[in-house]
Amino acid sequence: MAAQKLAKAGKKVIVLEARDRCGGRIHTIDKESFFKQAELGAEFIHGDLPATLNLLKEAGITYYPATAEMWRYQNGLLTRESFFADDWHLLLGRLNALNKDISIEAFIEKQFRGKKYDTLKNTVRKFVSGYDTADPHKVSAFALRKEWQGGDSDMQYRISGGYGVVIKYLEKEFDMLALEGLCTLVPPSYIENFAEKYPKTFNALKYKEDKWKAKWPWRSIGDYYIISFKKKSNQNTGDDN
């Protein structure tokens, strides 16, 4: 969306992506495994958010009020669940009383001692790392308090056809320039100290990878990707942005 705005303002924009698709944590799979679209990431518009709703209006994409139930499939059984742990109200209450900002990990460790709060603490950790992609040891308790307090008061919406249609709309305005696969040959960073331990092998693999990374099939294989896009020519300015 930022790229679209910059390009509309006549700026040159290149979008770099670390995956072989656009959208990041917005990822709708369409009838691949389910009878209709399924969201692997963002699903709801949490409230009357002008930036999102204006973009939908511009794209002619409709949305509708959302209701939801939560179900878990485990060991062949479907069970109904609540969105938040039973002690969530207690968590919000104690967060509200917090005067000095600390990390959410420090907060739950301090405020919820003992095994009986393990479920609550693990829910917080999973939610923060999964939903916010934040590190519980670093993320501000004040920031999460603000996010969680506002959560239920607004109307929630779902986008017709899934969040992915917004990405498709934005993508239409760009041409793909290049796709490169990274760590197709070079071991990825989670294999620690490989370069230091085996410098010769590392350099040989890196040399080959640098040569091949933008070529088929290596550009579509890898632990990470760089996709470069260019805004299609802009009819308003005559520029090739």
Taking the complex as a whole, how short is the minimal distance between the CB of residue 144 and ligand FAD, in angstroms? 13
In angstroms, the CA 46 to CA 35 distance is 25
Question: Does position 83 bind ligand FAD by CB under 6 A?
Answer: no
Q: Among residues 98 and 139, whose Cβ is nearest to ligand FAD?
A: 139
Distance between first and last Cα of the chain: 15
H helices present in the chain, as ranges: 2-8, 50-59, 88-96, 104-111, 118-130, 141-150, 164-171, 194-197, 199-212
Question: Does position 24 bind ligand FAD by CB under 6 A?
Answer: yes
Do the Cβ atoms of 149 and 98 come closer than 8 Å?
Answer: no
Taking the complex as a whole, how short is the minimal distance between the CB of residue 153 and ligand FAD, in angstroms? 15
Question: Does position 130 bind ligand FAD by CB under 6 A?
Answer: yes
Q: Dihedral of CA 48/52/57/60: which sign?
A: negative
Taking the complex as a whole, how short is the minimal distance between the CB of residue 19 and ligand FAD, in angstroms? 4
Determine phi and psi for 156, rounding to 5 degrees: -105, 140
Residue selected from 26, 139, 195, 221 as contacting ligand FAD according to rule CB under 6 A: 26
Question: Does position 98 bind ligand FAD by CB under 6 A?
Answer: no
Q: Which of residues 29-48 bind ligand FAD (CB under 6 A)?
A: 41-44, 46
Residue selected from 12, 29, 102, 131 as contacting ligand FAD according to rule CB under 6 A: 131
Do the Cβ atoms of 231 and 7 come closer than 8 Å?
Answer: yes
Question: Does position 17 bind ligand FAD by CB under 6 A?
Answer: yes
Taking the complex as a whole, how short is the minimal distance between the CB of residue 110 and ligand FAD, in angstroms? 27
Question: Does position 199 bind ligand FAD by CB under 6 A?
Answer: no
Provide the 10 A C-beta neighbour count for residue 58. Answer: 10
Stretch that binds ligand FAD, among 17-25, 88-96, 140-148, 173-181 (CB under 6 A): 17-25
Question: Does position 25 bind ligand FAD by CB under 6 A?
Answer: yes
Question: Does position 148 bind ligand FAD by CB under 6 A?
Answer: no
Stretch that binds ligand FAD, among 22-30, 93-101, 113-121, 215-223 (CB under 6 A): 22-30
DSSP letters, 174-238, are EEEEEEEEESSSSPPTTSTTHHHH-HHHHHHHHHHHHHHTTSTTGGG-SSEEEEEEEEPP-TTT-
